[in-house]
């Protein structure tokens, strides 16, 4: 292998490794906020599969108050995903801008004070977090949807047991590990700080915003969805 090819291979590995580190960090922030929100209001802040199941149960049981709150969480999460795309494109895919906005939203419930409805800005922030990473070198990743990551990991494991030598499935554990570590940090933070633990989660987002500058801009832009020109018709 010539020096140019070796350099290209080294850069590609570095780009992929930094992308995995970013994915891990974003999932950590999601897990931390999710754990704190779950303890504070008894509902998930970033795990919408669980909230959807709870919404169905609430409707059947006739618990209108709980159902309304869960519906609001789902709506805020969807709105956050849309807002995340808008912010990333308006900010030329700068993660620091996205994460700063998320930090402000995550911290907001502390100052609004009246739970459980005050948690909704944090839900919007968790939706926005998904705009941070979509793919790394062709490998799809989700930030708050670790069920999908575990599913892809399990199916990859099954294919490996059947003789498939492609080991890319192993990378799907990265967002799960980040979410799990973040959940532990969130639980510890709440034990120490109570409702103010959301400020610790917001601080983690600010720190990540600063650290993201260490990743070359062209690489960061490659981790998110490319802009698609509007069709003329």
Query: Which sequence spans correspond to the domains of the chain?
Result: 18-222
Cα–Cα dist 144/141, whole Å: 10
Residues β-bridged to residue 136: 139
Distance of CA 231 to the CA centre of its chain: 30
CATH fold label, 18-222? Growth Hormone; Chain: A; (1.20.1250)
Q: Does the pTM exceed 0.85?
A: yes
Tens of pLDDT along the chain (233 residues) come to 677 777 878 888 888 899 999 999 999 999 999 999 999 999 999 889 889 999 999 999 999 999 999 999 999 999 999 999 999 999 988 999 999 999 999 999 999 978 899 999 999 999 999 999 888 888 888 888 888 888 888 988 898 888 888 888 888 889 999 999 999 999 999 999 998 999 999 999 999 999 998 888 888 888 886 545 444 43
- The first and second tokens of residue 110, run together, are 């502390």
């Amino acid at each position: 292998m010539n020096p140019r090819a070796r350099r290209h291979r080294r850069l590609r590995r570095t780009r992929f490794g930094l992308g995995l580190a970013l994915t891990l960090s974003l999932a950590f922030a999601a897990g931390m906020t999710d754990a704190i929100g779950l303890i504070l209001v008894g509902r998930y802040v970033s795990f919408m599969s669980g909230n959807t199941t709870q919404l169905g149960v609430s409707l059947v049981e006739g618990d209108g108050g709980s159902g309304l709150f869960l519906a609001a969480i789902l709506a805020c999460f969807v709105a956050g995903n849309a807002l995340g795309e808008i912010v990333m494109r308006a900010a030329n895919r700068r993660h620091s801008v996205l994460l700063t906005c998320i930090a402000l939203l995550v911290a907001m419930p502390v100052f609004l004070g009246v739970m459980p409805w005050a948690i909704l800005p944090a839900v919007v922030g968790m939706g926005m977090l998904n705009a941070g990473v979509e793919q790394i070198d062709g490998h799809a990743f989700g930030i708050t949807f670790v069920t999908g990551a575990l599913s892809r990991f399990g199916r990859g494991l099954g294919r490996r047991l059947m003789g498939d030598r492609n080991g890319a499935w192993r990378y799907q554990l990265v967002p799960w590990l980040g979410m799990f570590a973040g959940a532990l940090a969130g639980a510890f933070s709440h034990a120490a700080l109570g409702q103010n633990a959301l400020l610790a989660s917001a601080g983690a987002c600010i720190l990540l915003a600063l650290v993201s500058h260490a990743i070359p801009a062209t690489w960061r832009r490659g981790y998110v969805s490319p802009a698609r020109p509007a069709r003329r018709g």
